[in-house]
Chain A
Amino acid sequence: MVIRPIAAIGRGTARWLARLGGLARFAFEALASLPSLPGAGRRVAGRVLLNQLRFTALDGVGLIVLLSGILSFLVISSLIRQLGRVGATDLIGELMVVVIVRNLGPILTALAVVSRSGTAITAELATNTVLGEVRALEGMGIDPFHYLVLPRLFGCILSTLTLSVLFDVVALFGGFLAAGSEGMSGARYLHIVLAKLITQDVVLTVLKSLVFGLIIGVLPSYQGLSVQSGPTEIPQAVIRGTVGSIVLVFIFSALFVVASS
């Protein structure tokens, strides 16, 4: 009677670890395949990368501007109102940097990229697999890592990085507008915020964006290429890829907070 629940926990843990191991191996194989990308293949993969950047970064600008602008406007106007009552409006600089630039910026950007591109990557690669396109690529002597995975991986890393920077810039600007609407001068707002923004914040944001981009490039690709049984598995793969990416983004975000403190 006691053994059964323990065995069930053990089986679940083993399955989870096996999946994690498979994912780590996939990421390693993808990156390890980079040096063997043939010269001619680089041009083709480069075009796929540009396509991915257009879809993930360029087409995602509107969403990021909207999210960042509204969020920063709401947060800063609320903070000025609340902190103004106790004469502590100087704290908005620290709150802006800690809450939005350092934490919410990379997380919300990653979530936006997961929802737009992570889902698309899983669905596309799963369809490629089900329709026999991946096998056909192998048969032609084209490594699916070279043609399908690496452009998407680097596309996601570069896109998440640039969109995170954009998020932070728009957030600062949104805060500037909010400060103005609450009667604080723009110069004072910029002075308070920029005084709290240090190099470490920028480095941390860049590092987070790189890691989140890596997660969004790897996990959806892994789930997409893991489909075996047929088209009915595609939506399940999309769910696994999306939920898994979101969970990993939050876990790594927490790890960053622990490591940086």
Chain B
Amino acid sequence: MTPPLVFEGIPLARIRRRTRSSIDRASSEGDGLFSVEVAPHQTVVTLGDETSGVDSLGALAMGLELSPIGAARVYGTEIARLERRAQLAFRRKVGYLPAGEGLLQNLTLRDNVRLPLRFGSDFQSDEIEGRVDVILAQLRISRAADVRPAQANEEERRRAALGRALAFDPELVIMEQPFDGLTERVAAELLEIARGGETAEGGRRTVLVTGQDLPALLRARVDRLVRVVKGQAVAGGR
């Protein structure tokens, strides 16, 4: 079975420079190559400091950045190497919560959750509204749904961004620094919502979380903790 997400031999610490010469320099400086496989229905957390390049993992998986060597594969596909239209279509299969949320400031929280469904699906309008209402209720932001991001608090914005990521009910969810600035209780709640309920087959969503730290309350809830040390993945315990 194809694993949902695989990072293979990526020079993570130097990914931002993107040039062949910087890769050579990275190797000469002793930075290793990052490789991790995320198994189906697992929740994997990858942590690293701000210079580790861990914040590029989400963008690499989504094909928003391209590693000059190595590969980031989602269900066996390197999104970055797909043709443009196929790239956009593939991304709709993955839930992505970028760092800083990336909510559109001129739309309400409801419209932000609604946008991917209205733009990328053939659902009827009332079907979209029904789905959006369910997501907003599940994330407990129905009351704040009609305010714009600038008028909402950080927790509401994060909930809306997660709602938007889950709009297509994806099997794989990638979240960048999703718990920064949240209480442990809220962080735990959001992680549970991202993982989703058990399906008939007994599986939950596959989730990759990246960040610099993980609230203590969540450590028991993740299947695997990986740390990026000198560009390489090091098992960080359960």
Residues of A within 8 A of B (CB): 33, 36, 38-41, 43-44, 124, 127-128, 131-133, 135-143, 146-147
Contacts and interface: CB of A to CB of B under 8 A. Distances in A.
Contacts, number: 79
B116 A142 contact: yes
A133 B103 CA distance: 6
Nearest to B107: A133
Contact of A44 (B64, B98, B103, B119): B119
Interface residues of B, number: 28
A40 B105 contact: no
A36 B86 CA distance: 10
9 contacts: A36-B85, A40-B121, A40-B122, A128-B104, A131-B105, A138-B91, A139-B64, A139-B102, A141-B120
Contacts of A33: 84
A95 B116 CA distance: 54
Interface in B103-146: 103-106, 115-116, 118-122
B91 A139 contact: yes
Given A43-B118, A127-B105, 17 more contacts: A38-B119, A128-B105, A131-B100, A133-B103, A133-B105, A139-B64, A140-B91, A140-B115, A140-B120, A141-B92, A141-B120, A142-B88, A142-B116, A142-B119, A142-B120, A143-B88, A146-B119
Contacts of A40: 118-122
Interface of B: 59, 62, 64, 84-85, 88-92, 96, 98-106, 115-116, 118-122, 164
Contact of B88 (A43, A131, A136, A141): A141
Nearest to A139: B96
A140 B84 contact: no
Contacts of B116: 140-142
Contact of A136 (B98, B118, B119, B121): B98
Given A41-B119, A142-B115, A132 B88 contact: no
B98 A41 contact: no
A131 B119 contact: no
A136 to B, nearest CB: 3
Contacts of A137: 102, 104
A135 B118 contact: no
Contacts of B99: 132
Nearest to B117: A40
Q: In this complex, which of A36, A43, A136 has the most chain B Cβ atoms within 10 angstroms of its Cβ? A: A136
B81 to A, nearest CB: 15
Contacts of B91: 138-141
Contacts of B88: 138, 141-143
Contacts of A124: 106
A36 B84 contact: yes
B98 A135 contact: yes
Nearest to A47: B118
